[in-house]
Amino acid sequence: MRRIYKQDEAREDLAGIVDYYAAIRLELALRFLDAIEATLAGLLEMPGKGSKCEYSHPRYVGMRLYTVNGFEKYVLYYRPISDGIELIRVLYGGRDRDAIFGRRIEPSAE
């Protein structure tokens, strides 16, 4: 059975976003949670559909990104693993990724 493993930082990201939306309207927070679960379920079925995003830090080797269905300003950073996916972070798309993940490695043109 394939599973979703959430790193602590991803759990904290999700909690912060849900709190933000709940302060606006509880239904919005619940809709966001539903969208997260649906997006993660889709990634679990097809883990390679997100875009590659390589960074110099070894902790982020093999990381991919994919936007949240219905909340496209939020990005899931995850890594396909042998028995599912590992959710690394959930961030607002406007955040400085290099400041968070380190120097980006550009794909080679081989």
User: Sorting pLDDT into bands at 50, 70 and 90, what band is 106?
Assistant: low
Residue 75, in any domain of the structure: yes
Tell me how far apart the alpha carbons of residues 3 and 58 are, in angstroms, rounded to a whole number.
23
Per residue in 37-78, pLDDT (tens digit) is: 999 999 999 999 999 998 888 889 899 999 999 999 999 999
Residue 14, in any domain of the structure: yes
Per residue in 23-37, pLDDT (tens digit) is: 999 999 999 999 999
Residue 52, in any domain of the structure: yes
Residue 77, in any domain of the structure: yes
**CB contact at 8 A, 76 and 39:** yes
Q: Using alpha carbons only, give the angle 2, 47, 22 rounded to the nearest 5 degrees.
A: 85
Here the CATH number for the domain that contains residue 63 is: 3.30.2310.20
**CB contact at 8 A, 19 and 99:** no
Residue 79, in any domain of the structure: yes
Residue 110, in any domain of the structure: no
Q: How far is CA 47 from the centre of its chain?
A: 12
Per residue in 91-100, pLDDT (tens digit) is: 999 998 888 8
Q: Which of 33, 5, 6 is nearest to 18 (CA)?
A: 33
Range of the domain at 85: 3-105
Counted domains in the chain: 1
